[in-house]
Amino acid sequence: MEREILTEKDHKPLYGLLLAGGYSTRMGTDKAFFEYKNEPIYKRSARLLASVCVRTFISCRLEQETLFSGYPTIPDQDPSCGPASGILSAFLSYPAVSWLVIPVDMPNLTISFLQNNLIKKCDSECDVVAIREGNSGYLQPMVAIYHPSSVSVMQREFNKGNYSLKSILNQLNTQEIEYFDSNKILSNYNTRADWENEK
């Protein structure tokens, strides 16, 4: 039986989407499988999402699917177009749910952060709830909850060749949650040096 985890937005079930379909060009190898604290980082991130969501899926390229054995996946329909394609692919598979999205390269995210800054603060009138980093002012579109009401605008922009999530969020009713990241919760790691320093 599925757990009853709902958002405030029309009481939609909350599913988790781990974005792991990038090409990791700066890393030189697929960072989803980079070892962090004795396990591949994707396992840690998927477990985090599973703690706060009804169901959790890994967004990946088609050729990656067999590498995530034992984990539900949603193949990205067009991975060359960035994370927007992964999110739209998730809505294509499950259109009636809200999606809590995180990237695979943020190992410091925690259950309490996701619950207190996204899930519990989710406004019933918004299309997306996203974190704005108070230190830099940067809007973080890949640590966010996307509701079904966001799909029409996302699809329209995607069809026009606009694959920028930040640009798309500017056209949606986006609830911005300011968070001052003193503990590097939102730090992401794109190179081997980044990961070695984090270890």
Alpha carbon 158 to chain centroid, angstroms: 18
Predicted pLDDT of residue 2: 42
Q: What is the pLDDT of residues 109-133, one digit of tens each?
A: 999 999 999 999 887 789 999 999 9
Tokens representing residue 151 in the block: 């799909």
Are 106 and 186 in contact by the 8 Å Cβ rule? The answer is: yes
Predicted pLDDT of residue 196: 60
Q: What is the pLDDT of residues 26-36, one digit of tens each?
A: 555 677 877 77
Tokens representing residue 25 in the block: 């060009």
Strand order in the sheet with 73-75: 73-75, 55-60, 14-19, 98-103, 139-146, 128-133, 174-179
Read off the pTM. Answer: 0.89
pLDDT by residue for the chain (199 residues), tens digit each?
Answer: 344 455 544 568 999 999 997 655 455 567 787 777 888 889 999 999 999 999 999 999 888 888 998 999 999 988 889 999 999 999 999 999 999 999 999 989 999 999 999 999 887 789 999 999 998 999 999 999 999 999 999 999 999 999 999 999 999 999 999 999 878 899 876 665 555 665 5
Predicted pLDDT of residue 72: 96
Predicted pLDDT of residue 11: 61
Predicted pLDDT of residue 25: 44
Predicted pLDDT of residue 173: 96
User: Domains of the chain by range and CATH?
Assistant: 14-198 (3.90.550.10)
Are 180 and 169 in contact by the 8 Å Cβ rule? The answer is: no
At 144, the amino acid letter reads A
Predicted pLDDT of residue 183: 80
DSSP 21: -
